[in-house]
Amino acid sequence: MSFKRSVERDRKIEFTHQDIQNKSEFKSQFNFTWIPFNYKSLIMLAIIFLFTQFFCVPFLNQYYQYPSALILTHGILTSFLVVLSFWTIAKEKPPLSALFIRFCFCALIFGGFALAFVLLMKL
């Protein structure tokens, strides 16, 4: 018994490769590449840090102890102001999910540094 195999292709089929954009979008938002590093952005970061350090920390110090006020201010408020300020100057506006990822990353970094500073102060 013999079989004859033949395949006819009448039309051209194009295969496209689609990347999963959620993972690459998550990775691109979970770093500081969305902040343009030039002198204007560094000045803006310094102003945000000085505002939160010298105005918001003493205000929260009335209600909380200094270490808690420092960690909360830099973890939440500084992160929010950094994300908000660079969102307003961005040419392409990212979606809210990207802004939330940026906020979480900044809160993790700034809050972590504030926590490390508080722990070093206690030594």
Per-residue pLDDT of the chain (123 residues; tens, 9 = 90+): 666 766 666 666 666 666 555 556 666 666 677 788 889 989 999 999 999 999 999 999 999 999 999 999 999 999 999 999 989 988 888 888 888 988 999 999 999 999 999 999 887
Alpha helices in the chain (DSSP H): 21-29, 39-51, 57-61, 66-72, 79-89, 96-121
List the Cα angle 67/65/108 in 5-degree steps.
35
* pLDDT at res. 19: 54
Whether residue 69 lies inside any domain: the answer is yes
Contacts of 111 (CB under 8 A, 6+ apart): 71, 74, 75, 76, 79
Whether residue 19 lies inside any domain: the answer is no
Task: Identify the residue whose tokens are 């490769």.
Answer: 17
Question: How many separate domains does the chain show?
Answer: 1
Whether residue 67 lies inside any domain: the answer is yes
* pLDDT at res. 33: 77
Whether residue 5 lies inside any domain: the answer is no
* pLDDT at res. 17: 62
Whether residue 56 lies inside any domain: the answer is yes
Whether residue 109 lies inside any domain: the answer is yes
* pLDDT at res. 90: 84
> Which residues form the domain of 31?
26-121
Whether residue 11 lies inside any domain: the answer is no
* C-beta contacts of 116-121 below 8 A and 24+ residues apart: 117/70, 118/67, 118/70, 118/71, 121/67
* pLDDT at res. 27: 63
Whether residue 13 lies inside any domain: the answer is no
